[in-house]
Structure 1
């Protein structure tokens, strides 16, 4: 099963104590994501990222219940969609701080929000379905059933999302118009943001595997992993990186047009999973 405990609430719209309680009590799956699970972290520079899924109380699903938008005395409230907490916020500077080595960034989505994102092919949330047991923080029988049916989320929609995310990372790594990097030190040293570059290439590798096999291998297998880590360290010239990203885009575009990839995910199965999982959860927490 594993631990469901989450860091205490904070004055952030998605970090109220009530949201934390909902997320903790309803968690069915929580795993490590980010560089740690991809195998691409370098020299202990990265924080720890975790993502989870929770079932909601009935008043938040069939009713109009809301949660406070943060902690303290305030009147604002929002529908519950997630609990999000970065431990770096606890240090002077608060929300403006950038996470680094030793920090925990965790988000627990409502199962309904996570499902909407996953059905749309969102690469970030789909990753949760393929994390190895060693990186699972908590998983119950509801989470096991979801993971066992990961293939039901694979569709051409995922190809579009992987391509979109890859393009955004490429724009950010080179500082194209409208893009932003919060790592100017990498640009100054290497001529491009090596972390964005690595993520662009990783998306190409993982998107290709997902659309070819229905799975994502974690950590990234060799020889791709060694190349990604070399890019992350700034050892690959910008021109070579851009050429590799172009190749990755071409592969994803080809797979998007393949008749072997379903047009749509299995929405009926996901609807049924959400329905029976919530009913069982509510019967246990009356």
Structure 2
């Protein structure tokens, strides 16, 4: 595969990993341009579990990032030590990362995913002995998504590595036991999202389109 950018994401990137945590990898690649011209388009994602790795084709990753998908977007905001592949085109994409951002998409995606975690937290089966651990994981994701989304709304920056992971773990344990406490966190986040932020109303697609066309030009291979 023509991997352009790849790195370690998930709990390791956030600072929430423990001894038994999986190492999750995320990246993007360029399909050979000639393969995009046929009747059947190539797969847009490749996912493996051994190792845990997700690779999105460049165009799909761009669409996800333009929608401010939290998982996809963090690839271009990782701390430098977490990158495993950084090609020249990958570096260009990192330099373009702010052009993908827009106020509505950030609110909808980060707050939307946090709300999904809250539903999972609230609807857990309390008779399941393993349920509390899963609920704590959902709660940690809820707190992370709220804090990352608000930082993005108010500063224009994605902060992948949490400044206080122990505090997030503690909140996760608390919210797992008393999910109603998390409702106040979500309500406060909604109020802050209602205030004006620093992000534009719409992403700047022109440089993204230009980058993707360069990717296609570089990876064009004529049929034999």
TM-score, with structure 1 as normaliser: 0.70
Shift of 1:235: 4.5
1:80 pairs, out of 26, 31, 43, with: 43
Within 2, Cα distance between the matches of 1:284 and 1:125? 31
Structure 1 runs of 4+ off > 3 angstroms? 239-242, 283-286
1:267 pairs, out of 205, 208, 216, with: 205
1:165 pairs, out of 94, 105, 113, with: 113
Within 1, Cα distance between the matches of 2:11 and 2:79? 14
5+ residue gaps, structure 1, are 1-23, 67-78, 88-103
Shift of 1:283: 6.3
Within 1, Cα distance between the matches of 2:197 and 2:185? 25
Within 2, Cα distance between the matches of 1:193 and 1:147? 34
Shift of 1:193: 0.5
Contact 2:100 2:204 survives alignment (8 Å): yes
**How many residues were matched structurally?**
220
Relative to 1, partners in 2 of residues 1:227 and 1:186: Cα closer, same or farther, differing over 3 Å? farther
Q: Greater relative contact order (Cα 8 A, min sep 6): structure 1 or 2? A: 2
Contact 1:59 1:65 survives alignment (8 Å): no
SS at match of 1:147: helix
Contact 2:7 2:83 survives alignment (8 Å): yes
Within 2, Cα distance between the matches of 1:161 and 1:170? 14
Which structure 2 residues correspond to residues 62-73 of structure 1 after superposition, within 5 A?
Answer: 62-66=37-41
SS at match of 2:220: helix
Residue of structure 1 in register with 2:32 after alignment: 57
Relative to 1, partners in 2 of residues 1:242 and 1:110: Cα closer, same or farther, differing over 3 Å? same
Is 1:33 equivalent to 2:9 in the alignment?
A: yes
Relative to 1, partners in 2 of residues 1:48 and 1:249: Cα closer, same or farther, differing over 3 Å? farther
Greater per-residue helix proportion: 2
SS at match of 2:147: helix
Within 1, Cα distance between the matches of 2:161 and 2:117? 20
Shift of 1:113: 0.5
TM-score, with structure 2 as normaliser: 0.88
Q: What is the CA deviation profile of residues 26-54 of structure 1, one whole-angstrom value per residue up to 9, with x for unaligned ones? A: 1000011111101112x323211111000
